[in-house]
Amino acid sequence: MDLAPAAAARNEGPLPAYRAMVAAGTLQADPAQMRAAEVLQDLWRRTRGYDPHPEEPEQGGFFGRFLRRKPVAPEEAPAGTPMGLYLVGEVGRGKSMLMDLFFETADVARKERIHFHEFMQHRVHARIHAWKKKHGDTADPIPPLADGIAAEAALLCFDEFQVHDIADAMILGRLFQALFARGTVVVATSNTTPDDLFKGRPGRDAFLPFIALIKRRLEVLVLEAARDYRRERLLDMPSWYMPLGARAEAAMDNAFRELTGHERGEPTRLTLLGRAIEVPQAAEGVARFDFDALCGKPLGPADYLAVATHFHTLLLDEIPRLGAENFDKAKRFITLVDALYEHRVKLVASAAASPDRIYEKGENAAMFARTASRLHEMQSRDWRSRPHLP
């Protein structure tokens, strides 16, 4: 997304930036997006110059703050703390673009924009692990963890706020209460309303106070944009690039950029029954793997189901020709395609050949025929227009 018009309107806020992008033809006017930009503009006004506890820089980086700052009791946000925003809507409605406009124009010295899953993995779980390693399991890591995060950012913008993991669910309530107590302002985008977070999962009753806290501290705005812009981009682009080589690789890079607005995704991790599935790149509900990372490892149906339910689109690089000599990979690819097909995950791939020529010879070639048929169907405009089934 070209944010140059936003940069030009930096001192005026996200609403003028949005209007500038519409005037420049970068965006098409959308009433729902305009309403969201107006709400973000109001928050922009309330956070101008906001800094709840400016401090002199301390030596020692995060762990210096983590260990030396005086803990603050986890209470309600102090008076005068601006309420944040929880922007919810279906995939492709422009939530991330709007939050980026707000973040780019926000007049807050200490601010950070981060994917929520990355925040939980690399900020929360990693730091809790380090704290317990130093202080033992009996020490409470939440107050100093919140101290460190609040010292780094008075404004936190989370993209793709979602809770799938029981370990995350058990931490979030106390952590966010502590962050709000330190005056941290939160803006988040999500595909899920607060009331539906962690719905149907074991242990959800213990998660309900967090949902109540989110609804109390963040304004919830449902973005009901008339068009799914990301799906429209997906419908218009090829989904199977061949043969393998520099042109196919460049096309895959461009597809990822078109679908996510990012040059590269962030590495992330899916936790499944005590195991972890490493995702090399992920952004905006899109995952990117090379073939060997997904089908060259001993993964099974549950692993591929986790990928299919967490991501609406999969980019798969360098599918080779398959045969009896690498039938273990072929079987995993068959299982992967079945999971993607059942959950209507959109597949964009680079391959050595067309689907019906990936596995042409050998005693198991007939088994692959159904997979080839599904891969052809998944390239059709009709199939790609169907919604993801997470």
**Closest CA relative to residue 270, chosen from 189, 341, 164:** 164
Q: What is the pLDDT of residue 62?
A: 43
Q: Are residues 209 and 235 in the same domain?
A: no
With respect to residue 23, please indicate whether it lies within any of the assigned structural domains.
yes
| pLDDT over 50 at 71, yes or no | no
Average pLDDT on 37-53 reads 92
Residue 58 pLDDT level (bands cut at 50, 70, 90): very low
Query: Average per-residue pLDDT in the chain?
Result: 84
**How far lies 215's CA from each of 8, 92, 106, 119, 152, in Å?**
34, 24, 23, 21, 24
0.75 exceeded by the pTM?
no
- Taking alpha carbons only, the member of 241, 196, 221 closest to residue 86 is 221
Domain membership of residue 246 (yes or no) is: yes
Give residue 230's pLDDT: 64
Residue 54 has pLDDT above 80, yes or no: no
**130 and 86 in one domain?**
yes
Distance CA 50, CA 106 (A): 10
The Cα 246–Cα 248 span in angstroms is 6
Residue 154 belongs to a domain: yes
Which of 183, 206, 222 is the last residue in one of the domains?
A: 222
Domain-terminating residue out of 222, 243, 258: 222
Query: Are 244 and 371 members of one domain?
Result: yes
H-run or E-run covering 13: none
Measured between alpha carbons, how far is residue 73 from residues 180, 289, 385 in Å? Answer: 11, 43, 50
Looking up residue 293, the CATH number of its domain turns out to be 3.40.50
Q: How many domains does the structure of the chain reveal?
A: 2
- At residue 64 the predicted structure's pLDDT band, cuts being 50, 70 and 90, is very low
pLDDT recorded at residue 198: 85
CATH number at residue 162: 3.40.50.300
Structural domain containing residue 180: 4-222
- Looking at the fold, whether 108 and 23 belong to one and the same domain comes out as yes
Given this model, what pLDDT does residue 214 score?
92
Q: Look at residue 389 and tell me if it is in a domain.
A: no
On whether residue 121 sits in a domain, the answer given is: yes
Do 150 and 238 have their domain in common?
A: no
- Residues 200 and 336 placed together within one structural domain of the fold: no
Question: 263-297: per-residue pLDDT in tens?
Answer: 888 888 887 766 788 899 988 789 999 999 999 99
In angstroms, the CA 246 to CA 232 distance is 26
Full DSSP string of 262-315: -SSPEEEEEEETTEEEEEEEEETTEEEEEHHHHHSS---HHHHHHHHHH-SEEE
Q: Is the pLDDT of residue 109 over 70?
A: yes
- 13 lies in the same domain as 120: yes
Q: What is the pLDDT of residue 123?
A: 87
Residue 390 lies in a domain: no
CA–CA distance, 47 with 103 (Å, rounded to integer): 11
Q: Is 44 in the same domain as 142?
A: yes
End of a domain among 222, 248, 268?
Answer: 222
Position 259 pLDDT exceeds 80: yes
Same domain, 304 and 191: no
| Residue 192 belongs to some domain of the structure | yes
Same domain, 258 and 184: no
Q: Each residue of 120-178: pLDDT tens digit?
A: 888 898 898 888 888 887 778 999 999 999 999 999 999 889 887 777 888 898 999 99
Are 288 and 264 in contact by the 8 Å Cβ rule? The answer is no
Position 166 in a domain: yes
217 and 233 fall within a common domain: no
If asked whether residues 263 and 206 sit together in one domain, one would say no
When pLDDT is cut at 50, 70 and 90, the band that residue 2 belongs to is low
